[in-house]
Structures are given as C-alpha cells and as structure tokens.
C-alpha cells in the first residue's frame, strides 16, 4: 500500500556540499545490475500517474538503468547519464536485451548534462545525495516543461534497518572499512556561519521553487540469500575500500558469512525495504 508524507521521513538530511570520491562505484557495475533490489512496479505506476508520461525522460546518475530501462517504453526519448563508464556500459547492454532503443546513454557528471528539449520528467535514483543538489534542482527546473516533475527515487539500506542481522552487517562493514557507523565514502560536511551543513531533499526542492513536494513510500518484503546480500553490499559505496582490495574482500566475506550465519542459521535474511520517491512539480507558466 502506498504511504504518503509531506515531511522527510525516509531520507535523512545530507551535507549541502557532498564530499564523495568519484571512483566509489568503480568495479561495482555488475553487482549493481544483478543485486540491487528493483523498484516495485506499483511505485513506477504511481509515479507516472502523478507525473504523467510521454515526451522526454531525463535520468540522472542512471547506474545500470534501474529507472531508465523500466520506463523507456512510457516515453518517446530517454537521456541517461552516469559518471562511471562501467555503469553505462552495463546499462547499454541491458537496454539492448530489453529492446530499449530510445535511450541515449552518456558518461559524465549529471551537473554537466546538456538537455535541449523540454523534459516531461527528470529522475534521480539512489543518488541525489551524491550530487550538487542545489545545482541539479535548478537545472531540472530549467529542463522541465511547465507543470512537469522532478522525482528522487530511493530505497532503504541495512544502515537504516532494525533487524538483528542488519546491525551485524553494518558492524562488520564498519570494522573492515575502518569507518564504523557511517559510510566510509563520505567526508564530513564542513560548516560555516552562513550556510546550514545539512538539508533534506525536500528542503532543496522547495528552495528551487518546486511545488507540492511530497514523499510516497512503498514498503516491500524482501529475503536475501547470503550470496545475494553480499552481492548487494559490493554494489554499494559503503564497501568501496574493501571491494577495491581483492585480498581484503576475501577475508571480509568469510567474516561476514560467519557472523550472519550465527545470527540467521537458515541463511535467509528477511527485511522490509522502504522504496520511495519524492516528487516536486515545476510551476505552470503564468
């Protein structure tokens, strides 16, 4: 069942100026494509019911096409961009298999994308916090046709979960990455006297002039095998320091499997994933 909220309940506040390394997802594309839980169909249907379809879809930080490919046949054209070449390469291959020949893929920063035609919808999946959010919101407002929408999609992670096995996984990743309790990929925000250091996604959209900013949630039961969950972890920025060191990765996997099996001898890791999207609408022209 869809849940709605006018306040930020699923995504936390994030640093105004992100401090993420550009190579965080290097080597993660195949894991990302195979093990990231897909956004549920009811989420996409609900999104398109509110934002409409047709025309141009612009998908920023597109990964391996988790938004662009499922939605390609609901739009005349799709522009998809990602900073990581491997992500785009895998996305292109998946698009060929899906017959999605209306997607124009490009490699680069979302902040540098050039969009020449009015967009019907701009989407960002599980990545808005890593971008220059103020600039992206401003650019999206320029790209979108009047009355059209920007949608920020996302999903909860073990770092926000309450299951016992999730706490164990977070602890193990923290010990091996050297950054317990928070992503090793993120550098601390730097405060100054005039700018708040952390803002919600909703704050950013409202400040950019978007209207009716609302979050829509789609809790979805999920069960991982150990192999699937480890594959998912390799798809994240949390494990980048481990994933990029093969010797360390092997020892990490052994430790994690042992700890998780002690907690869940069946090897079935159950949770409810909080898929969501945050929608903002560009004002109609006056």
What the chain holds in terms of domains, given with CATH numbers, is 3-157+190-222+272-281 (3.40.50.150)
Q: What is the mean pLDDT of the chain?
A: 89
Q: What is the pLDDT of residue 179?
A: 64
Residue 244 confidence class, pLDDT cut points 50, 70, 90: confident
pLDDT at 5 > cutoff 70? no
> Which one is predicted more confidently, 26 or 104?
104
* Strand partners for 218: 275
Q: Are strands 103-107 and 77-82 parallel, antiparallel or unpaired?
A: parallel
Using a cut of 0.95, tell me whether the model's pTM lies above it: no
Query: What are the tens digits of pLDDT across the range 35-66?
Result: 999 999 999 999 999 998 999 999 999 999 99
> Which one is predicted more confidently, 196 or 164?
164
Distance of CA 119 to the CA centre of its chain: 20
List phi, psi (to 5°) of 125. Answer: -105, 120
Q: What is the pLDDT of residue 13?
A: 74
The residue-averaged pLDDT of 272-286 equals 93
Query: What are the tens digits of pLDDT across the range 146-161?
Result: 999 999 999 999 988 9
Compute and round to an integer the Cα radius of gyration of the chain: 19
**Which residues are CB-contacts of 215 (< 8 A; sequence separation ≥ 6)?**
4, 5, 6, 7, 8, 9, 10, 11, 202, 276, 277, 278, 279
Distance CA 95, CA 139 (A): 26
Q: What is the pLDDT of residue 189?
A: 41
Is residue 218 within 8 Å of residue 2, measured between CB atoms?
Answer: yes
């Amino acid at each position: 069942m869809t849940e709605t909220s006018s306040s930020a309940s699923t995504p936390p506040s994030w640093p105004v100026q992100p401090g993420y390394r550009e190579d965080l997802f290097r080597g993660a594309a195949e894991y990302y494509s195979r093990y990231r839980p897909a956004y549920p169909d009811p989420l996409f249907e609900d999104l398109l019911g509110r934002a409409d379809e047709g025309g141009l879809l612009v998908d920023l930080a597109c990964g391996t096409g988790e938004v662009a490919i499922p939605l390609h046949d609901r739009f005349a054209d799709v522009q998809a961009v990602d900073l990581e070449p491997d992500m785009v390469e895998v996305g292109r291959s998946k698009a060929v298999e899906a017959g999605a020949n209306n997607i124009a893929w490009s490699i680069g920063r979302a902040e540098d994308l050039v969009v020449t035609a009015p967009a019907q919808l701009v989407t960002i999946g599980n990545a808005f916090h890593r971008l220059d959010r103020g600039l992206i919101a401003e650019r999206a407002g320029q790209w979108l046709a009047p009355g059209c929408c920007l949608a920020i999609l996302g999903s909860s992670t073990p770092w926000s979960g309450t299951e016992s096995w999730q706490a164990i996984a977070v602890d193990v990743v923290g010990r091996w990455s050297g950054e317990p309790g928070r992503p090793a990929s993120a550098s601390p925000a730097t405060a100054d006297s005039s700018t708040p250091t952390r803002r919600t996604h909703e704050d950013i959209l409202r400040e950019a002039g978007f209207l009716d900013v609302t979050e829509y949630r789609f809790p979805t039961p999920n069960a991982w095998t150990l192999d699937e969950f480890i594959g998912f972890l390799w798809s994240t920025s949390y494990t980048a320091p481990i994933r990029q060191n093969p010797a360390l990765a092997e020892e990490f996997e052994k430790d994690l499997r042992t700890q998780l099996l002690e907690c869940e001898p069946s090897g079935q890791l159950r949770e409810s994933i909080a898929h969501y999207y945050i929608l903002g609408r560009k004002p109609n022209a006056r």
